Structure 1
C-alpha cells in the first residue's frame, strides 16, 4: 500500500542510499543548479518522523580532504560503516575507496591491497558475507561498459578481479544488482548497441535476469516462467529485496523515450514475474532515484521526472519521498483516514496523534527550488 508522500527533502539525482538503525543515509548525487566541485554531502532520514537532516561530516584524520561530490557511485553498509566506491563528477571518474563511520560521522580513506579497478560510474555494488562485489558501469580507462566482476574483501581491504565461468551479461551501466543468499541477481541497465565506430552506438536494453553464483564464480540465467509477463528493459530504476522477492521500481528506456512508475516483483522461489497493483497513490514516473527497505516499508526518494506526461521535453529534479508499506499498522491506516479531517476535529485529538499526523503530512524544508533540465 502506498501511504506517505512528502516533499521538501534533499533534491538528489543519481545518489546512493543505505539503511542503518531505522534511518536512511544518503550520499552525494547531483542537483542541476548545484556547484559540482565540492565535498560530498550526506543526509539522514529518520524513518520514524520522516524528517531529513544534513550531517556535518569530517575526515577521521585532521587535514585530510573529504570525498568529492559525485554521482553514479555505490555505497554498501558493512556493520557500522558505509563503503563508498566509484562515481564521477563533471571532471572525472573516481577509483578511490572511502569508508564512512556511521556512529562517529567521519570519513576515512583506508589503504587497500591488490590491483584497484579503474574509475567508473553506473556500476553496482552488493555485499555477500565480508565481500563487496562490483559489476558493470562505464569504465573511464577503457572507454566502454565493463563486464568484469571485482571483489573487495572488506576485513583485509583487498581487491581482486574474478575469473568467472558461464556466459556473463553484456557490459552495461545503471542496472540493478540484488544479493540473495550467495548469489547476485542483475536486471536491466543500458547496453551499448555499437555502430560502425566504437563508442558511437545507440543504447540497447534487455529484460533478462542474470545470476552470479559467488561460490562457483559462475554466471547463469534462471529458467523464468514463460507464462509470466515481464517488465520492459530499462535503466536507472531501483531494486530492493523484500522477503523472497526482488522488486523493480520505475526507470527509463531511451529507445521508447519512456519513463516508468510501475512496480514489478520477481519471485525467487518460482522464478516468476508479476506486476504489482498496490492501493494508494503511486510514485510519479521517474529515474535515478533510490529505494531502501526499513522493516516492512520500501522508502523511495529523489530522482528526476518528466514534465508533460508521455510527450515531455523537460525533467525536474525531485525532493520527495514516498512510502510503500507492505504491512501497514492499524495506527498508520487510522492516520491516513483522519489526516484530511477538518481542523477543528484534528485539534481535538491527543497531542501524540497530532504530532504523528504532522510527521506524515508536513513537508520537510531543506530542499532548494526545483531546477529544470532539458
Structure 2
C-alpha cells in the first residue's frame, strides 16, 4: 500500500482513468495544482517513490476541450522552460490577486530536504512569469503541509510541520495586501498539525479538518472554524457516521459550496494504512455539519491516494497523481 506513484484521475458521478496527450509528465506526489481560466496547472512535487527527487516541472491541461477516457485524449502543455519555477514538495498553494489569476505557493520542502529557501513564490498566469515574493513584518517559519486560504485580499496560513527540527506549528499567520505578515495566533487555536484540509466558507469562516498531530492522524469528528471577520476560533462536533481519521488527503467544495467532499489520505492505524472510506461527504448546510453516506459507481474506481491534489473543474472533481 502507498508504494506506487499514480497518473491523473478524474472523478464525477463516475470515475475513470485518463492519460497524456503530447507532452507526458512523470507521475508524482506532493505536488501543487490550481485551476484558472480553463487551465489546470501542476507544479513541482516528488517524482520518485522514496521522495528523494523534487522536480521543477510546470505544466497544465487545457480544460476548455472535451476529453474522454480514451488514450491520448488530454492535451498537456509544458511550461517547464520558464525561469524561476520553484522546486518544492508538500507545499501549499492558493489562487490570489484581484482577478484570481495568480498562483501563490507557500512553504514546503526544498531541494536536499531543506527549508532554507524563499517562503512564497507567485506565478502570473497572464504574463507567464514566476517571482519570489518579498514580504515584511513577522515572517512565518517555513514549513510543510500548510493549506493556505485567500479571502478578501488576505492570505491565511495555519499550522504546518518542520521535518528538520520536528516542530509542529499551530500558528495562524496572515499576509495583507501590503505584503505585511502578522501573527494572529489565539490561545484557543487548534493543536499544531500538517496535512489537513481547509476551505473558505460562504460566511467568511475558514474550515480546518483532520491532518497529523504529533505523528497521529486527527479525528474527523471535530471541525475547526476560524472567523475571519471577528478573529475568533470555534470548533464544532460533527454528526453522522464519522469517517476514519486521516492526513494528507484532499477536499473540495461542491459548486453550491454546501458540501465538502474529501478523498484519500492515510490513517495511523498501522503502517501505510489507507483511511476508510476513501471518499466521504460533509453536509455544511446542516447544524451541526453532518457526514452523509455516498455511493460511488463506475467502471474504474481510483485507489486510495495520498499526497495527491483535487480541483473542481466545471462539473468534475479532478484527482491528480499521488501515491497509493
Class of the TM-score when normalised by the shorter of the 2 chains: 0.7 to 0.9
Q: How many residues align?
A: 285
CA 1:235 to 1:223, structure 2 compared with 1: closer, same or farther past 3 Å?
A: closer
Equivalent residue, structure 2, for 1:177: 198
Equivalent residue, structure 2, for 1:287: 306
* 2:213 equivalent among 191, 197, 204: 191
* 1:160 equivalent among 164, 182, 187: 182
C-alpha distance in structure 1 between counterparts of 2:297 and 2:236, whole Å: 31
Q: CA deviation at 1:44?
A: 0.1
> Cα RMSD between the aligned structures?
2.1
Question: Are the counterparts in 2 of residues 210 and 221 from structure 1 also a CA contact under 8 Å?
Answer: yes
CA displacement, residues 197-253 of structure 1 (integer Å, 9 cap, x when unaligned): xxxxx534322211111111111112423xx10111101111111121111101111
SS state of the match for residue 278, structure 2?
strand
Q: CA deviation at 1:97?
A: 1.5
Which of the two has higher C-alpha Rg? Answer: 1
Q: CA deviation at 1:3?
A: 4.1
C-alpha distance in structure 1 between counterparts of 2:43 and 2:245, whole Å: 27
Question: Are the counterparts in 1 of residues 118 and 132 from structure 2 also a CA contact under 8 Å?
Answer: no
Equivalent residue, structure 2, for 1:151: 174
Q: CA deviation at 1:96?
A: 2.4
Question: Are the counterparts in 2 of residues 36 and 69 from structure 1 also a CA contact under 8 Å?
Answer: no
Question: Are the counterparts in 1 of residues 32 and 44 from structure 2 also a CA contact under 8 Å?
Answer: yes
Equivalent residue, structure 2, for 1:122: 145
Equivalent residue, structure 1, for 2:136: 113
Is 1:58 matched with 2:73? no
SS state of the match for residue 195, structure 2?
coil
CA displacement, residues 39-68 of structure 1 (integer Å, 9 cap, x when unaligned): x22110122243222214534xxxxxx244
Is 1:138 matched with 2:157? no
Is 1:7 matched with 2:19? yes
CA 1:142 to 1:95, structure 2 compared with 1: closer, same or farther past 3 Å?
A: farther
C-alpha distance in structure 2 between counterparts of 1:215 and 1:21, whole Å: 29
Question: Are the counterparts in 1 of residues 44 and 54 from structure 2 also a CA contact under 8 Å?
Answer: no
Q: CA deviation at 1:95?
A: 4.5
Is 1:237 matched with 2:249? yes
Equivalent residue, structure 2, for 1:19: 35
CA displacement, residues 274-321 of structure 1 (integer Å, 9 cap, x when unaligned): 13112213211211110000121101110001xxxxxxxxxxxxxxxx
C-alpha distance in structure 2 between counterparts of 1:18 and 1:106, whole Å: 16
Equivalent residue, structure 1, for 2:9: none
CA displacement, residues 317-374 of structure 1 (integer Å, 9 cap, x when unaligned): xxxxxxxxxxxxxxxxxxxxxxxxxxxxxxxxxxxxxxxxxxxxxxxxxxxxxxxxxx
C-alpha distance in structure 2 between counterparts of 1:279 and 1:292, whole Å: 20
Equivalent residue, structure 2, for 1:303: 322
Q: CA deviation at 1:140?
A: 6.0
Q: CA deviation at 1:35?
A: 7.5
Equivalent residue, structure 1, for 2:109: 88
C-alpha distance in structure 1 between counterparts of 2:163 and 2:181, whole Å: 18
C-alpha distance in structure 1 between counterparts of 2:135 and 2:278, whole Å: 40
Is 1:259 matched with 2:274? yes
C-alpha distance in structure 2 between counterparts of 1:138 and 1:224, whole Å: 26
The runs of 4+ residues in structure 1 deviating greater than 6 Å are none
Question: Are the counterparts in 1 of residues 31 and 309 from structure 2 also a CA contact under 8 Å?
Answer: yes
CA displacement, residues 140-178 of structure 1 (integer Å, 9 cap, x when unaligned): 68631100101112x31121111436x322111111111
Q: Could you say which structure has the higher helix fraction? A: 1
CA displacement, residues 77-113 of structure 1 (integer Å, 9 cap, x when unaligned): 1222111120113331244221101122211123322
C-alpha distance in structure 2 between counterparts of 1:17 and 1:31, whole Å: 15
**Structure 2 residue runs without a partner (length 5+):** 1-12, 68-73
TM normalised by structure 1 equals: 0.71
Equivalent residue, structure 1, for 2:238: 224
C-alpha distance in structure 2 between counterparts of 1:286 and 1:36, whole Å: 20
C-alpha distance in structure 2 between counterparts of 1:122 and 1:95, whole Å: 16
C-alpha distance in structure 2 between counterparts of 1:98 and 1:115, whole Å: 18
